[in-house]
Every structure is written in structure tokens, then in C-alpha cells.
Chains A and B, each alone.
Chain A
Amino acid sequence: MTAMTATHFSFETINRGLPAFARFCTYLGAIAGITAYAMYGPSGYGDEGLLYFLTPSSFAWIGIGALAGLASGLTTGMTKPSVTEAKVALNLVSWLDGALMMILLAAFWSALEPSQSLITYTDQSNLISGRVIMTMNIVFLSSALLYITYLFAPASIVGNLATATAWIGVYSGGSALLLRWYESYLLSTEIGHAPVSNLYEVFILLFCITTVIYLSLERRYQAKAMGAFVMALVSAGVFFGIWLSARGHADIKPLVPALQSYWMKIHVPMNFVGYGSFAVACGAGMAYLVRDYLEQKGGNARLLAIFPSLDQLDQLAYKAVAIGFPAFTLATILGAAWASEAWGGYWSWDPKETWALIVLLTYGAYLHVRVSHGWKGRSLAWWTVSGFLVTIFCFVGVNMYLSGLHSYGRL
């Protein structure tokens, strides 16, 4: 590498062109390698679950796949440079980078784990994931404080710190979940399962997904003022999570037979993409209402200058619903597919199912009034806020007040 390119080296250059494209191909190769190992590996994927993928031979398959991906990426990229401009690769590569970083972080935490003889099911307080989650709680709370501070003291350092802490929160939450996945296998192979099986675990997932959706909107549309509202919602969730863990819901528990299915790993996270985006839409709606109120009062020009315009906030709320609605629809369909394999029918009018339908109807009506009746502004902002209340009831309220087939997340 010449001196000139070295001085011009920045994160921008590795996220464009050939470096990005080659990296993308490497990830694809690694994913192909792990898939091939699961399907055609020596002993076959079975009861070992996650541990099956944490063996030297698994790493060899992943490594070979990654190398093959890198080689093919470099050759196609160099022979036909126009390929490297492909939007899909450029958009996905940073997500894959993040996923890799999360895995590496979890691997790092796992090195700090106490020795196997000290790990017991009955006392899980010495596991590292608990500490990482505590860190995540603190980081998310300070991020919310920073975002709120930014509204009143819009110094760029405050804004940058707010964004940075939000990202740190996401990475600690995500890596803590990955670590918890691994820890469940440390407790015992038969207990081991993906960390999406109870309310405590999915709450952490929800914080991370909500924050990630918000941050990607922030990066694309420079809507930092919205962060105060979204992160305030996340903070409320953090307090609920702390309460849950104080009530003893934070322990890793074995899976009941009904949850022992690959569908759990698909259906549950998909649902939380929906919940997370509706939370972000609610944040945008709240920001809209506050700005609207400020404008009518004719107040604080400095505060107004930080907020995105009413039109932008309206669009951002729509944007979030546009992510959440298809995701939640897909999640509900996936749930129906699972139900048809486990409960004897794709639809049972179980309270959780019915409330998922109510959520879809609520946002479906939102989209209709928006598109056909040309509703805009304040009434729709209220709609996103109250729609999120319906969503919260679907998520937590059903578990608290209504019983049914979905009673895994009982309080």
C-alpha cells in the first residue's frame, strides 16, 4: 500500500467499492460454510445445538467458506468493477459487520466466565451475562439522559455521545444475549437454547432492536431530536427489565416441550422487529406532538431548531410503521405456521394471536387513513402513540392479564 492511500484511509473507504464488496462476499461465504456444515457436517446437527457450531471442524468449514467468498469477491470485483456498486452489498455489509462484532464481543466475554465447576443451575449469579446486561441498562439510561440533554444543550459532542452510548448499549445487549445463549449450554447441554424463551430475554432483544431501528433512521435522516423520545421508551423498558430480574425472572430456565422447535428462533425475533419499529413510530409521534405544541405556543426557537420539521417527523413515523407492519405481519404468519405444527391449527383465537391481529388492524387502519383519506399530522401522530399502547398490551399486557396458549412469558 502506498503512503498516499494510507493517509486517505478512513472508514468511508472501507465501506465503499471493492473493500465493502469483498467483505460482503466473505460474510456470504462464511454463512454458506456454516449452513453446509449444519447440513452435511460429519456428525450432523442434532441435540448439541449451539455447541455443534463451536467445534474446530465447524470453524474450519466457516473459514473455508469465508476464504472462498473472499477470493470470488475479489476476482469478480476486480474483473467487473461495476458489481462493487451493488446497493444490496453496500447496504447489508455494515449490518454484517455489526453482527460479527457482536459475536466477537460475546466470545471475549465468554473468556471471563467462571470455571465450569463453579457454574450451577441453582445459582446463576456468577455468570458474566448478568453483568453485561447491567452495563447495558446503565448505558441505555445514560444514553436517554444524553439525548434529553441534547434537546436543551444542542452541542455536537452531547449528540455524538448520545449516539455512541446508544450503540454501546446495543452491542452490550446483543453480545449479552449471545453470551447467554452460550451460558445456557454451559449449565447443561439439555438446558441450552436460544435466548428468546422468556419475557426477560425478549425485553433485552426489544431494547436492542428498537435502538438499532432508531439509530439507522437517525443516521439516514439526521433526526437526533427523536432520540430523546425513543430512548425514553427504552429506558422505561430497562426499568421493567430490572424489576423482572429482581423478581427472579432473569434465570436461564430449561425449555418446555412446546418451545423446543426451530420456529422459536424465527418467530420470536421477527415479532420484535415489529414491536421495535412500532416503538420508534411512537417516538416519532411523540416528537411530532411536542413540536406541534411548541409551535402553537410560539415558544423556544432554539428547541424548535433541533427538532426535525413536522413533515419530516410525520414521514419518519410512517417510515417506522412501514418497517414494522410487514415485519409484524410476517411474524404473525410464521407464528401461525408454528401453531399449525404444534397446536393443531394455524389459528386458535388465543389471546396473544388475537391481540397480534388487533395490532395489525390498528396499523392497517393507520395506513388506510393516511393513504386514502390523506390524514396527516397531529391525528396520525396520536394514532402512532395509541397504536403503541395497543402494541404494549399485546406484548406485556396479555401475559399479565389474560391466560392462553402463549403462557410461556407468564409473570
Chain B
Amino acid sequence: MKMPVWFKPWFDRLSSMSLAIVLLVLLALASVIGTILKQNQVQADYLTQFGSLWYNVFLSLGLFDMYHAGWFIGLLGFLMLSLVVCLWRHTPRMIKDMRKRKVIIADKSLQRFHHLKHWKLNKAELTQTIETVRSCLSGWEQKTAEDGGKTYIRADKGRRNKWGYILVHGAILIILVGGWIGSQYGFRGTMTIVEGSTDNTISFVKGTGTGHLKMPFDIRCDDFFIDFYPTGMPKAFRSTLSIIDHGKVVVDHKKIIVNEPLYYKGVRIYQASFGDGGSDIQLKLFHLGTGKIETVKTKVYETWRDPKTGVSLEITNFRPFNIENMANPGEPKEFKDLGPAVEFILRGPGLKPVKVKTFMRPFVMKGQDRGNLMLVSLTGEDSDYEPFSLGLDFSQPTDWKLYRNFVDILKKQKKDNSKTANFAAFKSAMSKVFGNKRPKNFQQIGGRVIQGMSNLSQVPWPFIPVLEDYDQVYYTGLELAQDPGMNTVWVGSAALVIGLCIMFYMPHRKLWLVLEKKGNNVKISLGGMTTRNKLDFEQEFHELLTKIEQGFDSSSSEGSAT
């Protein structure tokens, strides 16, 4: 095939190694940018981070979705082109070189070899010497020829080393092609399904927005299960899925876990994440002003609003287990489950919005009931949660009763603030609630109520929300993917590894032996060369020399090597 004249310099440039190196370095630098600049974030985040000027500059450069930007794809395309041209140019010559092994070597070229050794054998027969040498070279591919009274032996090891080069470069090409097929004809996205419901649409990141794709089948999440370690870390989570294709259940109650996806019609379904699927939440609101107890029913992700006060609770999450390390830093860890808790953002007129986590059970330490606990975050960040003790145990009706009575009696005798008056008020509240029959743990109850007196007065809200009941439902986060190019990538990967091993560990080593009969003597020259792994070849060459010399010694006791 002939190429047009104008094309030749471009062809040379494309296949040049300098271009390859420049491309590799450019790709590396571009990849660095892509890891430092967080990819595929929400537009608003970028705007606040960089300001509108830099936002527009980065946006026009495609840096927010860099790995899919035109110039990055172009760079990869250029690499492919360079690989194709490089292979096109070098492969035929390499294959020819591997097939044809020149046996006859000019004396001048032999003298230039880095590894060279000469012998002169006295009173030796040529044929016998050849035999000896050849047997020493067992394991080497040998070829002999005669020319001008000289016998040439060429021996090769790792003759197919150049295949390593061809395989490696071809493999990278194959992997890139596989990646391209995947990006063109494949998809990958997430689907969240609440327990018991069905869905068929995945969503995926598209630049700084979101795209959607409908699957040709429906997935139903029959059940979701999660197991925790004693430390509160998730140990395993598992979805039970059914697939419904055209109204027919084709996969029935199949369990999937992380690392074990489900495969249906070329689509892989992975367990990726989980979360609350909108659990039913029942809260009890203990009104601080009136003393009334109100029951509120709501759901996670919903907002409940109190019509009277305008205070709203935006329920953000619910967790049945809340395992915390109760030990001080430096001490042995002590894990404790604080029980079910609901999280919400509390807003209201004149109130600073705060994030709150409120529990169902009181906080018990060393067997002692310390009353209910709330975690409050003023910033809305989970890391800024501060514990706030409410004092009262809201799961015990008597705590609240005693507290209210105490507050009422104190209000009535507001003039007298003395210790004795307070004590008398407490005593009368006690007898009002319990009558003559004081419970055994009345001291503890009293302690909690007195604690509650001081702590609850700091609460600016009209009521104290406490979790009363829940009906938990999870959603399962699935990842769905189809990649028709994946097998191509695996083929390429296998070729790449095999090619690298051939390239590095089977270097081509060449030996030339020139034998010449001169009178009674035989003159022998041995030259060796290799392209890679010179250190090992040096050792190998020396070992060979000793082997050959031993061979000479044993084959002719009269002959001597010089």
C-alpha cells in the first residue's frame, strides 16, 4: 500500500515515540486535575466555591465533567490513533525480524559486541567442537550456516520477545475500544426502591445535572435487611428483589448483597446503598406552657407544622440503632446502643433553626435512669451534635406528672423562694402524684424532676418532642449497569499482562558463535547481546562461558583453551 506524499510526515509524527510520551504525560496531568477538582457536583456548589467568573471558565473547559469532556476524549482518541499508526508501522518489521534470523555475521559487527570471548583450541576437530558447543547451548534455539570456510552458529532465547511489545500496545488499544463501546452502548445509574414498592427508572449523573433512563423491566424490593456489628458499623445489608418483565415475575425473591450482584438480560443489579424509605413516626409533644401531651403522626421526609405556634418539624431521618462509644478518649471503648432515634430540623417564629435527634428510651448509665437525652446541632452538621439532658424520663408518665405539679405549686407560692418553701412544694407535689404510696425509686424520680426543673427552663421551644413509636421502612439503593464493552476490556487486560510479562521477563538474548579451522587448531569467537535486562544477561553469559570451557576440557584432554 502506498500512502500519499503529503501524508508521510504526519504519519511519521503520529507514530513517533515523542508523541506517545507527550500524550502519556498530558493524560497524567489532565487526570490530576480531574481528581483535585471534584467532578459532577451540583452547579450551585461550584458557583459558591469559584465565583461566577472562574465557574464559567471551568465550565467552558468542561472541567466539571472532565473525563467526558470533548478534549479529554480527543486526547484518548489521539492516543488510539498513535497506537494504531505505531503498530501499523512496526508490527510487520518485527514479525519479519522474529522469523528471519540472520546467522552469518560480519567480523566487524561481532567485534563491537559488549560480551565477547575468543578461544583457540589446539589439535581439535571442527565437527567435534561444534558438537560440544551445541550441546552446551541446549535450551537455546540454534541455527547454523557455513560461509567462506567459517561455521556460524546463532542461538536465541526469548526470540518472541517482540510479541510482548505488539501485545501490550494492541492490548491498550483493545481496552480503549472496549471503554468506548461501553460509553456508547452501555449505561450505569442508580435506582432507589422503598421496601414493598416497584420501580423501573434509573437516574445518572449527566454533566452537573441528572439524566433518567427507563429499564425494560420492573424491579420490586420485597424486603430489605440490615445487620450491625456491636460497634454500630453495618455488617451486612441485603435486598430481596423480584424482577417483573411484561407483567410476569421472571426473578422471584432473589437476595443480593454488596459484592454479589444480580444479572438479568445483560443488566447487572448491584446493592449499593440504603436509607430510610419514609418510616411512620409517632411523636409525643410535651407542651411546656400548658402541660398538655399531644401525639403527632408523621413520616420521615415530611414536615409537620403546629398550627398554633407555627413551629415546624422537618423529619430527616430515623434510625432504630444508635450505637455510640461512651468511653472518654484514651480509655478502652465502650459501645452502647441508645435505641431508636428520629432526626428533624426544628424551625419556628423567633427560633434559630436547629437539627435535633430525639430518642425513645431514656439514657441509662450504670443501671441508673438519667432521663431522656437529645442531641442538638446548631449548625445542622452531624459532627456538631451536642448532647442535651432533659432530666425527665418521658417514657414514665409519673415523671412528667410530678414535674407539672411541682411547677404549678411553685407558681402559686411565687413569693416565697426559700429552700424550705421549695422543699415543701416538692413534698406536696409528691403526695399529690403518689398519695401515701411512694414508689421504691422515688428518690431517683425526684432527682430527675429537679434536674428537669433547671434544664427544661433553658429550652426556648413551646414543647419537648419525644419519639413514641415508629414503623420502619427502608429503601434500597441499587446500581444498575450494562456494559457491552466489558468483555473486550477483559480480553485487552489479559493481553496486557501477558504482553508485559513477555516484554520484561523473556528478553531476547542472541548469541553468535563463529568457528574456524586453522591448521590443527580451531578458532572460536562467541558474542552475545540483549536489549533488556543486561544485569542478568551478564551473569548468564558468564555461566555459559564456564559451561563451554568445561565442555572443551572434557571433550579433548589434549586441547587447551587460550
Contacts and interface: CB of A to CB of B under 8 A. Distances in A.
Q: Does B bind A?
A: yes
Interface of A: 120-123, 190-191, 221, 253-254, 256-258, 260-261, 263, 312, 315-316, 319, 322, 325-326, 329-330, 333, 336-337, 340-347, 349, 351, 354-355, 357-358, 361-362, 364-365, 368-369, 372-373, 398, 402
A257 B238 CA distance: 10
Q: Is the interface of A mostly helix, strand, loop or mixed?
A: helix
B533 interface: yes
Contact of A344 (B25, B188, B497): B188
20 contacts: A253-B233, A254-B233, A258-B258, A261-B259, A316-B535, A325-B500, A333-B493, A336-B493, A341-B259, A341-B261, A343-B272, A344-B188, A344-B268, A344-B270, A344-B480, A344-B481, A355-B35, A365-B28, A369-B21, A402-B36
A256 B233 contact: yes
Interface of B: 17-18, 20-21, 24-25, 27-28, 31-32, 34-36, 39, 67, 179, 182, 188, 229-231, 233-237, 257-261, 268, 270, 272, 327, 332-335, 479-481, 483, 486, 489-490, 493, 496-497, 500-501, 504-505, 532-535
Contacts of B229: 190-191, 254
A214 to B, nearest CB: 15
Contacts of B20: 368
Given A257-B258, A329-B500, A343-B272, 11 more contacts: A121-B230, A257-B236, A260-B259, A319-B533, A326-B504, A343-B270, A344-B272, A357-B28, A358-B28, A362-B28, A398-B35
Contact of B481 (A257, A336, A345, A369): A345
A349 B34 contact: yes
A257 B237 contact: yes
A361 B27 contact: yes
A312 B535 contact: yes
Contact of B258 (A260, A325, A340): A260
Given A121-B230, A257-B237, A351 B35 contact: yes
A343 B478 CA distance: 10
Given A257-B234, A361-B25, A365-B24, A329 B257 contact: no
Contacts of A345: 182, 188, 481, 483
For the complex of A and B, list the 8 residue pairs with the smallest distance between their C-beta atoms, beginning with the closest: A344-B479, A123-B332, A372-B17, A326-B500, A361-B28, A257-B258, A351-B35, A261-B259
Contacts of B233: 253-254, 256
A368 B334 contact: no
B535 A349 contact: no
A221 B36 contact: no
Nearest to A369: B21
Given A325-B504, A361-B28, A221 B535 contact: yes
A372 B28 CA distance: 20
B257 A365 contact: no
Contacts of A319: 533, 535
A257 B493 contact: no
A333 B175 CA distance: 11
